Every structure is written in C-alpha cells, then in structure tokens.
A and B are shown apart, each in its own frame.
Chain A
Amino acid sequence: MALSVGCTARPGKSRSNRTGSWRVFRPVFKHDKCTKCGICALVCPEGCVEQSEDEFYEANYEFCKGCGLCSDECPAEDIEMEQEEK
C-alpha cells in the first residue's frame, strides 16, 4: 500500500477496525429501570450505543471498548459491568 500525497479514505472506513477485542469488562444493559433518557448513547466515546426498535439502548459489542462510562453515568444505574469471559 503506497502512501502518496493527498491520500484519502472512504468516510467511516474505521468500521473495519473492530475495537471490541480490547474489552475486559462488558456493559450489560438490563432494561430494568431504564427510562430511555439516552445519556449512555451521548457519553459513549465510541458512539457504539444504539437505540433499537423498542427504543431501549444497546451497546454494539463489535466496537465497545468496555470503558464503563455509560455504566457510571446512567442515572437509573441500570447498566452493569461484567467481566468478559473468553
């Protein structure tokens, strides 16, 4: 892959890099006390927390690095961090 002046890349090409393999702790969205406020999606540095059709939020584990920000910021304390087992 030769690097030339004016090198370009397709928008959002970084999706080919699956950062989920970095994860040590996995956020589990329990959907128990969730009020669908969306703070988890807003604070996620990856932008990998997505709203599904039933309006609940879910992390995309292909990209989630397991930083735990969503769990810490959830006002309803409805996201639990669990150790990843491989």
Chain B
Amino acid sequence: MVDKSLELFDCGHRACGGCGPAIAARLILKGAGKDTIVVSSTGCMEVFSSPYPETAWKVPWIHSLFENAAAVASGVEASLKKQGRSEKVVIIGGDGATFDIGMLCISGAFERGHDFTYICYDNEAYMNTGIQRSGATPYAASTTTSPAGRCSTGNKRPKKDMPQILAAHGAPYVATASVSYPADFMQKVEKAVNTKGPCYIQVHAPCATGWGFEGNLTMKMGKLAVETGLCVLYEMVDGKVTRVKKVVRKPVEEYLSTQKRFRHLFKPARKDAEIAQIQAIADFNAEKYGIDIKLKKEPAK
C-alpha cells in the first residue's frame, strides 16, 4: 500500500510556483517508499532540488551527468546486488535526458536487464535551459528553437513514442501516468519498483513557465491532456497493454487554446489545418488504445 503521508521531498526547493515536476517528485517518493536510492540526470528537477549546499531529497540521491543516469544506476544496482542489499533504485530524468541525450545509456541498461525503475517526467521541452524543443515536444508547439512566426507553425515533428521503444527492449513493466491523477501514478510507481527488471514510467508533468499558463492550473492542464486523448494513460506488462484509462473525449482545442505555446494556432488567424492535424493525433491515440467511452445515448445509425 502507498503511504500518502510519507514526505521524502522537502520544502524549500526552488521550483516555480505550481511546478508539475515538483509534484511528480513528491508522488514518486510516496510510491517508492523510504528504501529508495534516486539517481537523477541533469534537468529542471535536478537543478531546483539541489543547489549546493542544499538538497530537497531525504533519500540517498546522486547526480552525475546529463546522459549517464541509466549507467550510474546500473552500477548502483550491481553494487547493491553484490552486497546482498534490497534498496530500490529509481532513476528520475526529464524528457530531454530520456528521449534525446540519455538514449544510448538507457538502451544499454534496459538491454542488460538491471533491476531498476526509470521514471521520465515529461514536460515536453528543455525547460531548465530556456524552453528548447526536445524529442518529446508535441506537434506545432512553439519553443525557443522551434519558434512560431510568419514562416513556421512551431515544432514540425510529432512526439517520439518512448514507452513503445522501451517495451521493445523487453521491459517487464512500462506505464504512462500523469501528475493530475496522483493515486494512479503512485500505484504505478509502487508496482514498478516491486517488479524485477528494468521498468519504465513516463509521467506527464505540465510546466507552467514553459507551456505558458498560470501555476494554479497545472492539475487542470494535465487532466485536459488526458481528456483530449493527447496523453494516454496505460500500463504494459511484458509488452502487452493491460490497462488503459478511458475518457469521454473533449476536442483538442480546449487543451490548446489555454496555453501560450499554442497561441499562434488561434491568433492572429485561426490555423484550422494545424488544429485538425493535432485532432488527428488524438483520434489515432484513441483508436490505437481504445480510450473512448461509448455513451449510451449515442444516436442509432
């Protein structure tokens, strides 16, 4: 059982007000419990939680480089195994460290089959260095390296499907979660740390500063992403999808129109083609994972 009152991520860290990743950090440690060793890669969470000589972590925590968190964790896990100890190893990395920079070490560690849990907090760009696009940035989002303007409608590429890549490595447990569904997320963390072998959880963590919304809306933004079908919450055990969160889907506009990074789709002129393309991504997700709840009052065809 997850102990909700367990507080292993302390006050006084320097995240922005309403930070999604900060909520993720707290929930991860509630789910993983106190016998946990955390390995962090460079990223927003590493920076705001550990400006020397301060640290918000109340569990053993180590940071080395941007790209090698999975390799460091492999060493930690191998050492624990040799010593016959039972601590859980949890890696926490941002989407930049996971999707782009750390890919090589992650692939290697998953292939070697170390017993750890890799958690990627996905805020969909390099927020710490000033909102540059990453492999996780969604289609048409404006970032500082994919700025929207006269000649551009923002990021041209769709989001990389990282959970499927790691499932293809033969990971026994792969899940996606969102900070807006805390109970579901904590349960998934608990399940992952108690599963032997390399497990992966990708948690959608809205970033108020990078996405351009007020800090009090973080939870609502995460919920909208799930309710529009742009972020699908599912669980994969041994490569098969076993559980999916079903929703009554809302049009993607409700999600897009509330964020500055998608503002160019509505002002100065509405860009219907781009919005339709994002809706198509949501429709594809809905079809692929079967997330739609069929309402009873649907008119007969």
Name A's B-contacting residues (CB within 8 A): 1, 3, 7, 9-19, 22, 38, 42-48, 51, 60, 62-63, 65-69, 71-73, 81
Contacts and interface: CB of A to CB of B under 8 A. Distances in A.
Contacts of A71: 216
Given A14-B49, A43-B182, A69-B219, A19 B11 contact: yes
B14 A12 contact: no
B54 A65 contact: no
Interface residues on chain B, size class? 35 or more
B12 A19 contact: yes
A47 B4 contact: no
Interface residue SS majority, chain A:
loop
B11 A15 contact: yes
Contacts of B4: 38, 42
A52 B186 CA distance: 24
B23 A43 contact: yes
A59 B23 CA distance: 16
A72 B13 CA distance: 22
Contact of B12 (A15, A66, A81): A15
A12 B56 contact: yes
B253 interface: no
B19 A19 contact: no
B55 interface: yes
B221 to A, nearest CB: 11
12 contacts: A9-B53, A12-B55, A14-B11, A14-B55, A15-B12, A45-B18, A45-B20, A46-B22, A47-B7, A68-B214, A68-B216, A69-B216
Nearest to A18: B12
Of the listed residues A18, A19, A22, A38, the one surrounded by the most CB atoms of chain B closer than 10 A to its CB is A19
Given A13-B54, A45-B19, A72 B216 contact: yes
B249 to A, nearest CB: 22
Contacts of B23: 43-45
A62 B214 CA distance: 22
Interface residue SS majority, chain B:
loop
Nearest to B15: A45
A65 B5 CA distance: 21
B215 A67 contact: yes
A7 B54 CA distance: 11
Contacts of B50: 9
A42 B57 CA distance: 17
B18 A11 contact: no
A60 B11 CA distance: 9
Nearest to A38: B4
A69 B27 CA distance: 15
A41 B56 CA distance: 17
A48 B13 CA distance: 11
B10 A7 contact: no
Given A47-B9, A47-B11, A48-B11, A11 B216 contact: no
Contacts of B55: 9-14
Given A9-B55, A68-B215, A16 B17 contact: no
Interface in B41-92: 49-50, 52-59
A14 B216 contact: no
A46 B25 CA distance: 10
B218 interface: yes
A10 B10 CA distance: 12
A3 to B, nearest CB: 7
Contacts of A46: 11, 13, 22
A43 B12 contact: no
